[in-house]
């Protein structure tokens, strides 16, 4: 999977035609074979753009930054990125006519060590769902697979699970990197950061980590697209996907196979209902 040349050409063309002000893509990090995002405003810089299986970061995160707000933006999206973009469009955070989207039929990205990422192995929509231009051969939808870690955890006992998650919350250093790197966390001021939220208040205890991470994951339930930006940003390498994948699994199994960001105009599982939703857990 190498679309570097095509993306360079498209970006150069877009700048030449005056269709965009900013282009968000990837470039080589310059010190190893990993890639970092790049925000280009100068047409001459388009030659640095690359796209390979090392293009991991979800670029839709940059749509909430100062550099791209109210500007015409061109950007590259993979399958999962396009789903978050879809949600941002639905939630009126970005305007479709200000974007030029280069969709990619993604064959999966790899982590630092060169192994295919877990979310790519379980990916069910590898092709971008919203795009102006498509690169690569469409692969079509695949079957939804329940996350392997969740399946494994579900077999464990209550106390065992409690111990495992306690470790996660204890190792959290409350830097909020997960939230800031999440493309769908765009609130101007997060509810758990409010000064009135005396429970959290930025302290670093397992209690405040529990509070912040649980609230965060529940506010993203039915919206999370599993791009793993949060895990990439986490300095403690916490398996944050567990919280999201658990919610995703429950939502998929109980709410008519709902998957976030797949259909245009879908606001997420919690913004609609069905009379047939499970009721047996309620007295």
Pick out residues in 41-80 that bind other proteins (CB under 8 A).
57, 61-62, 65-67
130 vs 153 by CB, closer to other proteins? 153
Nearest-approach distance from CB 254 to other proteins, in angstroms:
6
Residues 6+ apart with CB under 8 A from 243: 213, 214, 217
Q: Is 191 in the site for other proteins (CB under 8 A)?
A: yes
Contact mark string toward other proteins, 106..145, x via CB under 8 A: ----------------------------------------
Nearest-approach distance from CB 76 to other proteins, in angstroms:
15
Assess contact for 76 and 35: CB atoms under 8 A.
no
Assess contact for 150 and 165: CB atoms under 8 A.
no
**What does residue 198 show for φ and ψ, rounded to 5 degrees?**
-70, -5
Q: In this chain, which of 145, 148, 162, 264 binds other proteins, going by CB under 8 A?
A: 162
47 vs 194 by CB, closer to other proteins? 194
- Give the residue from 24, 64, 60, 16 showing the smallest Cα distance to 41: 24
Q: Is 218 in the site for other proteins (CB under 8 A)?
A: yes
Query: What are all long-range contacts of 233-241, with beta carbons under 8 Å and residues at least 24 apart?
Result: 233/177, 233/178, 233/180, 233/181, 234/177, 234/178, 235/173, 235/175, 235/177, 236/171, 236/172, 236/173, 238/168, 238/171, 238/172, 239/149, 239/168, 240/178, 240/213, 241/118, 241/119, 241/147, 241/149
129 vs 150 by CB, closer to other proteins? 150
Nearest-approach distance from CB 110 to other proteins, in angstroms:
16
Q: Is 155 in the site for other proteins (CB under 8 A)?
A: no
Residue 25 CA to residue 40 CA, distance in Å, equals 8
Q: Is 189 in the site for other proteins (CB under 8 A)?
A: yes
Q: Which stretch binds other proteins (CB under 8 A): 7-15, 96-104, 140-148, 275-283?
A: 275-283
Nearest-approach distance from CB 229 to other proteins, in angstroms:
7
What residues are paired with 135 via a beta bridge? 104
Nearest-approach distance from CB 198 to other proteins, in angstroms:
5
139 vs 171 by CB, closer to other proteins? 171
């Amino acid at each position: 999977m190498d679309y570097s040349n095509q993306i360079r050409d498209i970006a150069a063309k877009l700048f030449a035609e005056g269709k965009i002000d900013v282009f968000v893509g990837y470039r080589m990090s310059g010190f190893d074979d990993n890639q970092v995002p790049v925000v280009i405003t100068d047409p001459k810089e388009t030659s640095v753009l690359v796209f390979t299986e090392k293009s991991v970061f979800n670029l839709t995160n940059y749509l909430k930054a100062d550099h791209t707000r109210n500007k015409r933006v061109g950007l590259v999206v993979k399958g999962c990125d396009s789903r978050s973009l879809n949600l941002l469009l639905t939630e009126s955070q970005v305007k479709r006519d200000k974007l030029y989207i280069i969709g990619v039929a993604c064959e999966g990205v790899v982590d630092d060590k060169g192994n295919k990422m877990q979310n790519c192995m379980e990916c069910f929509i590898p092709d971008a769902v919203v795009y102006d231009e498509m690169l690569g051969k469409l692969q079509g939808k695949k079957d939804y697979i329940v996350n392997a870690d969740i399946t494994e955890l579900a077999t464990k006992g209550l106390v065992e699970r409690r111990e495992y998650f306690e470790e996660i919350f204890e190792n959290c250093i409350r830097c909020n990197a997960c939230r800031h790197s999440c493309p769908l966390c765009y609130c101007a001021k997060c509810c758990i950061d409010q000064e009135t939220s005396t429970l959290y208040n930025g302290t670093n205890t397992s209690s405040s980590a529990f509070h912040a991470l649980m609230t965060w994951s529940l506010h993203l339930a039915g919206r999370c697209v599993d791009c793993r930006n949060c895990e990439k940003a986490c300095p403690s390498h916490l398996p944050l996907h567990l919280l999201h994948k658990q919610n995703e699994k429950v939502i998929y199994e109980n709410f008519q196979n709902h998957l976030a960001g797949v259909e245009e105009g879908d606001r997420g599982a919690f913004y609609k209902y069905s009379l047939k939703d499970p009721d047996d857990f309620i007295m």
